[in-house]
Amino acid sequence: MKDKILIDLHYLGSIQYYKKLLEYKEVVFEANENFVRASYRNRCEICGPNGKSILTAQVKGGRKKQLYKNTELTYDHYWNTIHWSTLESNYRSSPYFEFYEDHLEAFFKNKADNLFDLNIKLFDIINKLLSLNIKYSFTDTFEKQVPENVDDFRSYFMPNKTNDDFVVAEYIQVFSSKNGFFPNLSILDLLFCEGPNAINYLK
């Protein structure tokens, strides 16, 4: 394994995503790629009383070719407040929701103009809350071929794609008794259910 990973920036990335990032000394986020629809760049997965559900941040011009870092958000359907109310409803009874809600609520109650900037801010707060100490930088240009010392994981984690290299250990989720265990949800699921122990789970 190499010391540096090149990867796309996710919206409240999955447990597998964060676990992979922690394997490297340096993380480089691809800042000059085109926005990819139906990807984790603007969606995440959580669990609720009726099973797994998807939260999607709504973007402007999602069907046209545009740079991810220039992709603007739209709030015509109030997705941000819906996301927060869904998280609050689904995780209010989790062991650690109340410890983290004040840190996260503002990101959903306030409106960001740009998806990439929003995702960086959310990444920073998760990085801080879990004491992950992930060091990162951004690409200056888009390169199809990466240097030999870099592992290229751009578009490696995608919805409906199974990555067999990930072995998951179960933890108690809010609706485990009803729905069973979902192995690779958003990092928020692990945060709300495991709290400070999440860092040990990821490592």
| pLDDT for res 170 | 92
DSSP letter string, 84-129: HHHHHHHHTTSTTHHHHHHHHHHHHHSPPSBHHHHHHHHHHHHHHH
| pLDDT for res 61 | 82
Cα 20 to the center of its chain, rounded Å: 12
| pLDDT for res 168 | 73
| pLDDT for res 63 | 73
pTM equals 0.94
| pLDDT for res 62 | 66
Rounded CA separation 180/98 (Å): 24
| pLDDT for res 164 | 67
Please, which residues have CB within 8 angstroms of residue 20's CB and are 6 or more apart in sequence?
5, 7, 153, 157
Indicate the number of domains in the chain. Answer: 1
| pLDDT for res 169 | 85
Structure-block tokens of residue 87: 């998280």
- Cβ count within 10 A of residue 181: 14
Q: In terms of residue numbers, what domain contains 17?
A: 4-202
* Series of mean pLDDT values for 10-residue runs along the chain (203 residues): 93 96 97 95 96 96 87 96 97 97 92 95 96 96 93 94 76 95 95 96 90
User: Can you tell me which residue has the tokens 């000394």?
Assistant: 25
